[in-house]
Homo-oligomer: A and B are copies of this chain.
Amino acid sequence: MQRAADVFRAGSKVIGVVPTMGYLHEGHLSLIRLAKQRSDVVITTIFVNPTQFAPHEDFSKYPRDLDRDTRLAETAGNDILFVPSVDEIYAAPYQTFVEVKDLTSVLEGKARPTHFRGVTTIVAKVFNITKPRVAVFGQKDAQQAAVIRKMTKDMNFDVEVVIGPIVREPDGLAMSSRNVYLSPDERKQSVVLSASLRRAEEIIASGERTSSMITGEMLRMIAAQPSAMVDYVSIAQDLTLEEVSELRSGMTVLVSLAVRFGPTRLIDNTLVEVR
């Protein structure tokens, strides 16, 4: 892959990379299209990265379908599919990790303490292997986007990080490879994630400035769904991810949440400019 990247670079081709864990859906495909607009050669990586899963999480049962992924990526304009093995990426004895402090101690990082260390390590490795000028990630994983931006800047990677918007099902559920885990009943209830975010946007637009009032309303909506268990509902500054208790005009806040339906954990978010 590095030799192929060298050949593209020697030919002055701009490489765009879309790191994914596969089981591609329309969200991923929108990122591939975005990468295509900004580069000459799009490399989509498919790698279910063990270091970003905790031992009790769903690494082994994470959905995989390489044949389908290959077809879908191609329809979106992907040029190269890079599908390394775990043994290649973490050749034993593997000992090196990239870690972003502070930003990773809240929200997802609090619920999943070793998760972002796995994410930043694999992304740094993918940058070194695919040698991109542009790397595209999705806003669905809002904290991941912030952490990768910070890692890229702090480490002086000469890569432009582009964040693509969330793609949703017709009823509002954010697309996710993990949605396949939901039972039909859970699938219906899961609309509450996006519905509560729309409600938060409305409340903020109507002038509410106290975060606890906004999250309180979201929590009530979620509590009305019998299978939903809240991990967190948060209103935070968009860049530092510090919790905000009172919204102020001119602020952009990240309203985000994580909700469990049985063993399935879903996340969603929206960026709101406070007027």
Contacts and interface: CB of A to CB of B under 8 A. Distances in A.
A154 interface: yes
Interface in A79-95: 91, 93-95
Contacts of A12: 10
Interface stretch (A120-128, A206-214, A266-274): A120-128
Instruction: Tell me the interface secondary structure of chain A in the complex.
Output: mixed
Interface residues of A, number: 31
Interface in A191-245: none
A95 B125 CA distance: 18
A156 B131 CA distance: 11
A40 interface: no
A93 B101 CA distance: 10
A102 B93 CA distance: 10
A98 to B, nearest CB: 5
14 contacts: A9-B9, A91-B154, A95-B150, A96-B98, A96-B150, A96-B151, A96-B155, A97-B98, A97-B99, A98-B124, A99-B99, A124-B155, A128-B155, A128-B156
6 residue pairs, one from A and one from B, having the closest CB atoms: A96-B154, A128-B156, A95-B101, A96-B100, A125-B156, A129-B156
